[in-house]
């Protein structure tokens, strides 16, 4: 008998292993770094890597860079000791409706902020025109 564990038999498991199995992080060490960095919360408070979770627990997970940080609030629906495909991983949790709407709102805000920026850097002629305009105003 190897390390194969029956998914139905699991009642509790380490949070870092679950985050890896649910495909929130590419490796367990990245999951561990995120937990230690305060990006994973259980019931509103930070957790340790060894925290054991069970079905029905609510987790808040922040992913991404500082400019494109996304925060998901998920409810654990199943536990798995093995990392499967993306479709299998999505069966391990359900994202709350509030979390989905919040993520969509922030994505829309990022898009609008990008529209406010110019698409290109001014060329030499445009820079000179801008300089002349600024000189006339002062």
pLDDT confidence of residue 113:
80
pLDDT confidence of residue 9:
62
The domains found in the chain, sorted by start residue, are: 7-137 (3.10.290.10)
pLDDT confidence of residue 109:
87
Angle at CA 15, nearest 5°, toward 13 and 16? 115
d(CA 75, CA 106): 21
Q: Which residues of 42-53 are buried (b: 16+ CB within 10 A; e: fewer)?
A: beeeebebebeb
Residue partners of 88: CB distance under 8 A and separation at least 6: 80
Mean pLDDT by 10 residues, the chain (138 residues): 52 94 95 95 92 95 84 95 94 96 90 77 90 88
Q: Is 26 helix (H, G, I), strand (E, B) or coil?
A: coil
């Amino acid at each position: 008998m190897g390390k194969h564990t029956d998914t139905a038999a699991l009642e509790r498991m380490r949070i870092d292993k679950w985050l890896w199995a649910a495909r929130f992080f590419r490796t367990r060490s990245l999951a561990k770094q995120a937990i230690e960095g305060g990006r994973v919360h259980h019931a509103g408070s930070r957790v340790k890597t060894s925290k054991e979770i069970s079905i029905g627990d609510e987790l808040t997970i922040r992913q991404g860079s500082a400019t494109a940080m996304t925060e998901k609030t998920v409810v654990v629906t199943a536990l798995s000791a093995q990392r499967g495909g993306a479709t299998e991983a999505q069966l391990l949790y359900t994202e709350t409706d509030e979390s989905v709407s919040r993520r969509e709102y922030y994505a829309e805000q990022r898009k609008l902020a990008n529209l406010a920026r110019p698409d290109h850097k001014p060329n030499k002629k445009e820079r000179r025109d801008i300089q002349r305009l600024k000189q006339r105003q002062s």
